[in-house]
Amino acid sequence: MSNFLRRFKLLPWREMLQISALVNSIVVGLELFLAWGFIQSQLFRNVLKLLFGSSLGMLIPFAIAVGMGALAVYFLEYWQQQFLLNRISLWFLVFCILLGLLLKSFLPIPPFLASLSETALIGVAVGVFWKGRPYWR
């Protein structure tokens, strides 16, 4: 038990939270752009209605969540110098991204792309572990 607590304390929490904030900020920026386009342009509104109204619209939140997870691992690989990625740190990266989605749910932004849901949980986990496959050990 003490070994788990020691590993838990040694995780790169600051880096994972920063990367989670960056990935969630990118998604918030995309959602704000989509909301602005929906309000400003009739053509953009029609395209979004067509895209989200079709059967493809159900896959978009899952694909965005997978992309969020993969992008987070990519950023973590790019910035990580002092610590070693492993399965436990990947799970806590999933937790940090979902924590960011929880905080994003309190913002008054319509969740076009990603929201805290089971689909997001599965998608983020798939994205993180798909991109983080070399670190499974």
pLDDT digits (tens, 9 = 90+) for 62-119: 999 999 999 999 998 887 766 677 888 889 999 999 999 999 999 888 788 888 899 9
User: Tokens standing for 37?
Assistant: 């386009």
Per-residue b or e along 58-85, where b marks 16 or more CB atoms closer than 10 Å to that residue's CB: eeebbebbbbbbbbbbebbeeebeeeeb
CB 102 within 8 A of CB 116: yes
CB 96 within 8 A of CB 20: yes
33-42, 52-61, 109-118, range with greatest mean pLDDT: 33-42
Q: Is the pLDDT of residue 39 over 80?
A: yes
